[in-house]
Amino acid sequence: MEWHVKKFHDMEIDELYALLKARVDVFVVEQNCPYPELDNYDQESVHYYVTVDGKIAANVRLLPKGLKYEDAASIGRVLVVSEFRGNGYARILLEKAIQYIWENWREEVIKIQAQTYLKDFYGSLGFVQISEPYLEDGIPHIDMIRAQK
């Protein structure tokens, strides 16, 4: 298992392709949800992911305050590739991502758009629901925040 934290322009072409392919495989194909996966946030984000035997296993995208939300940093594109599920990678990766935002960006608030069925999972990581459920690309979501303690 190898952890990676990279900005868009620091990624090798094959590395970026593998990351984008994993996202399309999970969010577009697996969830049967055609939506604009390439949204022009990647170029200004930090990509935090883990590889196992050279394959992308899990990924999150960290968006600095002011990119998606004026008042908070954000974590998005949280995924674990199907063959690597059940190993706790999502929790570990999110804990590392939260720590990265606290320590490197010195941000005090993180905002996410969570699929509604993951409310308890994100809640166990300190996120609190701040919106009513809504549809985003046909999938029920809620907004959640976590403030630094």
DSSP for 35-92, written as a single string? --S--S-GGGSEEEEEEETTEEEEEEEEE-TTTSBTTBEEEEEEEE-GGGTTSSHHHH
Measured CA distances, 143 to 6, 53, 63, 95, 113 (Å): 26, 34, 15, 18, 5
Q: Which two tokens stand for residue 11?
A: 């990624």
pLDDT per position as a tens digit, 2-14: 999 999 999 999 9
The model's confidence at residue 54, banded by pLDDT at 50, 70 and 90, is very high
**In the predicted structure, residue 125 carries a pLDDT above the cut 90:** yes
pLDDT value for 135: 93
> What CATH number has the domain bearing residue 130?
3.40.630.30
What is the extent of the structural domain holding 40? 2-147
pTM of the model: 0.91
Count of domains observed in the chain = 1
Q: What is the 8-class DSSP label of residue 131?
A: S
Residues in the chain: 149
